[in-house]
Every structure is written in structure tokens, then in C-alpha cells.
Amino acid sequence: MLRKGFTPALALCVWLLPWWATAAGAGSHHGTGAAPPVSPDAPVLFHVGPLPVTNSMVYTWIIALVIFLVVRLGTRRMQEVPSGIQNVIETAVESLEELTKGLLEPKVARWTFPLVATFFLFIVVSNLMGLLPGVGSIGWGPAGGGPLGVEHVDRPLLRPPTADANMTVAMAAVFFIMSTWWAIRYNGPVGLLKHIFGVKGGMTGWIVIPLSLIFLFIGLIEVISICIRPVALAMRLYGNIYGGESVLTIMLTHSPLGLGALPFYFLELLVAVVQALVFTLLSIAFIGTLCSHVEEEGHAHGAEH
Amino acid sequence: MGETLQTLGIQWPKLIAQTINFAIVLFVLWKWAYQPVLRMLELRREKIAESMAQAERIRAELEATERQRQEILQRAHAQAQQLIEEARQAAARLHAQETQRAVATAEQILAKAREAAALDRARMLAELKREVGRLVVQTTAAVTGKVLTPEDQRRILEEATRQVAA
């Protein structure tokens, strides 16, 4: 399971305090060479048949288990007057439903709510659990001081799923497929093409002919924009969380007792929630651009007046 | 492009595995969080709406009951006033009747008293006449010293009676 040349030492460095990571020898080598402080790709821990299992996959399972347990605890015996975990879950679900209903048409909000709510809850839980002590700092690496100590962690045991491009790309791909499906379901195939390439502004007469060429060009740009959206979603989330991980690692290993990382932990708490909200809101907004008749309604109102 | 994907560690098996993982999280949340919570919220919404409708119904019923109570009170008040008025009239009527009856009785008693007094006076007058006659006869007999005949006695008696009556 473990590669030859690495000491299979489980680093018990950073369970309670960040400075412990430094004291346990997380290493001060990062940043001095060409290698990044945190590997951009999630290291493979072991294989299950042909499937490489990365540390982010392992942490995804743990996060899924935590979500499952919390949700089951909260909704197993639901009371009409909520309390405890049920209250928290109800508040989260209701807030996300209100958010979705506030930005999308009721029909579209009903379709999209489960996905966008899952985006938010999964990303926020992943990001926050990624800040727990031990995540990214317990793992395998060249043998260091102490019986289980490593010089620096090459292959952490756990990595936040949102710091793995595979997960962010997977979520973005799900968003892309589902938003396309909902756009077709909402507009119809021909309606969707008209929505993208059609002449807007309620123009009629001969002016439509030159305008249709311009709107064809605009439609092509729109198609490119639609295709870029999932890439932007995936890379924004991955970049922010991976960047945060890198900053924390550098500050932990390059400041006395790792105390320099403390302000960044507060910053990362904020980033964890903000990035989840950004991903969710952008998903809703992108779906809204494809599944709405606002412009047409606006013209209809204009014509009435 | 390929180099970037390699740097980021994006590979089909990992990508598919993470997609499945995300789908599992989505399923877990949908099955055990969204569905029961949304059902509960809907149930609560229905109950709140029902409670509000019921409260509105109770308020309307209360208003109607209050209106009926006021009407009944007004009616009772009017009936009481009418009864009092009737009683007052009956009492006045009774009072007048009793007064009239009392006056009649008093007049009757008075008439009887007058009649009795007249009879007594007549009887006394008769007795007085008779007594005066007898005394006149006795006196006449005593004065004249003779025995009066019944005829004389009758004549003297009649004379005395006439004079007394006069």
C-alpha cells in the first residue's frame, strides 16, 4: 500500500494545536525548493482494484458519514416543535429553500433546490472539516524525529475534498449536465436555441435580418460562456481552498510555534463559508440565466404600457 | 491542457469516483434531510394556516354571539320595560277600582247609618209621643180628679201627640 522509500510513520502532530505540527516536525522545507508546500493533486493512498483511492476520497467518505449521522440524528424523530439538531437542519434547509425560491422561478427552484442546497452544505462542511487539526498534517513522509515523526508530510492521510480538483470538477460537471437538462426542460430544445441565439429586444421587420447575424455571434459567445462557467466554478473553489491549505501549511512551518497560522485560520473560516455561498449563488444565477422568461415578460409589460 | 490536468491530478477514475461520492451525499441529504424537513415545513405551514382560519372562524363566531347577546339583552330590556309599564297601568287601574269600591261602600254604610238613625229617631219619637200622651192622660186625670173614659183618654192622647209632633 505504501510506496518504497517512505517511512510508514503516522504523524501524531496536529490534533489539538497548530504549533504541534511544527514541533512534531512537519518540516520547514516547504517553500524553500521548487516543490509547492501542498501537492496540487490529491495523493493516492491505495488502490481498490483499478480505482486509485486518494486522501480526498477517504475524507469525502468521512464527511459523507458525518453528514449522514448528523442528518439521521436530526430527522429520525421529527417533532412539530423543533429543538436541537432538528432545529439546525430545519434552519439550514429552509434558508437554502428560501434563497433558491428568491432567485429562481418556483418551478425551477423546485427542480434545482436539492442540488444547489447540497452544493452549499457539502462544500461548507468539507471546508470547515478541512480546518480541523490533523487534516493535511498527519500522513506519510521521510522519517523525522521521534518514533512516528516525519520530516515533512508528503502524503497526508486526509485532504479536504474541495482542495481536490477532481471533486470540484465533478461538482461542476454535475452542475453543467443538470443545468443543461433543466434549460432544455424549461425552454424546450428549440426554445433553448432561440433563448441563446434569438434576436432580443422585441425587434420586428427588416432590422431583424442584420440583427440576427449579430445575435448569432452573441449566441456563440454565450455558448462559450456557458461552457466556461463550470470550469470557473470548479477552479475558483479549488484555487481558494487549495490556496488556503498552502498558506496554512507555510505559516505553520515557517513561524515560531506555528502561531503565524492563527490569523489565517480565522480567515479560512470566513473563506470556507464564503466560497460555499459563492459556488451556490453562482450555480443558482447561471441556472437562472437559462431558465427564465424575464426579458420576454419585460417586453410584454412594455408592450402593454 | 493535458499537463494542467496532470498537475491537478484530474483523471477519469478519480473524477468518476468523486462524482459518485457527491451523488451519495446528494442522495443522503435528499432522502434524510430535504424530504422530511420540507414535509415537516409543509405540514407546519398547513397547520398554521388551519389555525389562523380557525382563529378567524372563532373570532367571527364570537362577534356573532356578542351581537346575539346584545340583541337578546335589548329585547329583554324592552320586554321588562313593557312589563313594568303594564304592571304600573294595572296597579293604577286596580287602585282606581278599589277607591271607587271603597267610596261606594262608605256611601252605602253612610246611607244605612242615616236610615238607622232615622228609624231610631222615629221609634223614639213614637215612644216619646206615647209616653207624653200617657203622662198627659195621667196628669189630666190627677188634675181633674175624675176618671177619664177611654174616649177621653184617646182624645187627650191624640191631642198631646199632635202637639208633641208639632
Residues of B in contact with A71 (CB under 8 A): 28-29, 32-33
Q: Looking at residue A18, what is its pLDDT?
A: 36
Q: Looking at residue A296, what is its pLDDT?
A: 52
Residue A141's SS3 state is strand
Of A40, A93, A94, nearest to B9 by CB-CB distance is A40
Q: What is the pLDDT of residues A139-155, one digit of tens each?
A: 888 887 777 788 778 88
Residue A233: CB atoms within 10 A of its CB come to: 23
Task: Print burial letters for A235-252: b (CB count within 10 Å at least 16), e (below 16).
Answer: bbbbebbbebbbbbbbbb
CB contact under 8 A, B41 and A169: no
Bridge partners for A53 per DSSP: A46
Q: Tell me: pLDDT of A69 over 90.
A: yes
At B130, the pLDDT band (50, 70, 90 cuts) reads confident
Q: Looking at residue B13, what is its pLDDT?
A: 92
Beta strands in A142-213 (DSSP E): 155-156
Task: Print burial letters for A178-206: b (CB count within 10 Å at least 16), e (below 16).
Answer: bbeebbeebbeeeebeebbbbbeeeeeee
Q: In the predicted model, what is the mean pLDDT of residues A21-44?
A: 60
Q: Tell me: pLDDT of A78 over 50.
A: yes
Q: What is the pLDDT of residues A196-229, one digit of tens each?
A: 998 877 777 888 888 889 999 999 999 999 999 9
Q: Tell me: pLDDT of A62 over 60.
A: yes
Q: Tell me: pLDDT of A29 over 70.
A: no
CB contact under 8 A, A167 and B25: no
**Hey, of A39, A58, A68, A98, which one would you mutate to test binding to chain B, going by the most B CBs within 10 A of its CB?**
A68
Distance CA A268, CA A127 (A): 8
Q: Looking at residue A295, what is its pLDDT?
A: 54
Q: What ipTM is given for this predicted complex?
A: 0.82
At A15, the pLDDT band (50, 70, 90 cuts) reads very low
Q: In the predicted model, what is the mean pLDDT of residues A269-285?
A: 96
Nearest CA in chain B to A170: B19
Distance CA A72, CA A76 (A): 5
Q: In the predicted model, what is the mean pLDDT of residues A37-46?
A: 88
pLDDT averaged over every residue in chain A: 84
Q: Select the more confidently predicted residue: A302 or A269.
A: A269
Q: Tell me: pLDDT of A48 over 60.
A: yes
Q: Tell me: pLDDT of A1 over 90.
A: no
Q: In the predicted model, what is the mean pLDDT of residues A292-301?
A: 56
Residues of B in contact with A63 (CB under 8 A): 25
Q: Looking at residue A34, what is its pLDDT?
A: 59
Q: In the predicted model, what is the mean pLDDT of residues A93-107?
A: 95
Residue A294's SS3 state is helix
Task: Print burial letters for B19-56: b (CB count within 10 Å at least 16), e (below 16).
Answer: bebbeebbebbbebbbebbbebeeeeeeeeeeeeeeee
Bridge partners for A150 per DSSP: A143
CB contact under 8 A, A93 and B37: yes
Q: How far is B30 from chain A (nearest CA, A)?
A: 6
Cell of B150: 177611654
Residues of B in contact with A97 (CB under 8 A): 38, 41
CB contact under 8 A, A169 and B15: yes
CB contact under 8 A, A40 and B7: yes
Cα-trace Rg, chain B: 63
Contact residues of B toward A, CB < 8 A: 7-11, 13-15, 17-19, 21-26, 28-30, 32-34, 36-38, 40-41, 43-44, 47
At B142, the pLDDT band (50, 70, 90 cuts) reads confident
CB contact under 8 A, A117 and B29: yes
Of the candidates A159, A143, A124, the one whose C-alpha atom is nearest the C-alpha of residue A249 is A159
Q: Select the more confidently predicted residue: A239 or A18.
A: A239
Cell of A285: 444565477
Q: Which residues contact A13 (CB under 8 A, 6 or more apart)?
A: A20, A21, A23, A24, A25, A26, A134, A137, A138, A149, A153
Residues of B in contact with A115 (CB under 8 A): 26
Separation in Å, CA A57 to CA A161, A167, A278, B135, B151: 7, 9, 23, 167, 176
Residues of B in contact with A57 (CB under 8 A): 14, 17-18, 21
Nearest CA in chain A to B14: A166
Q: Tell me: pLDDT of B135 over 90.
A: no
Highest mean pLDDT, choosing among A3-17, A188-202, A288-302, B34-48: B34-48
Q: What is the pLDDT of residues B54-113, one digit of tens each?
A: 999 999 999 999 999 999 999 999 999 999 999 999 999 999 999 999 999 999 999 999
Bridge partners for A7 per DSSP: A141
Q: Looking at residue A97, what is its pLDDT?
A: 95
**Hey, of B4, B5, B8, which one would you mutate to test binding to chain A, going by the most A CBs within 10 A of its CB?**
B8
Residues of B in contact with A53 (CB under 8 A): 17
Beta strands in A110-204 (DSSP E): 139-140, 155-156
Distance CA B120, CA B130 (A): 15
Residues of B in contact with A58 (CB under 8 A): none
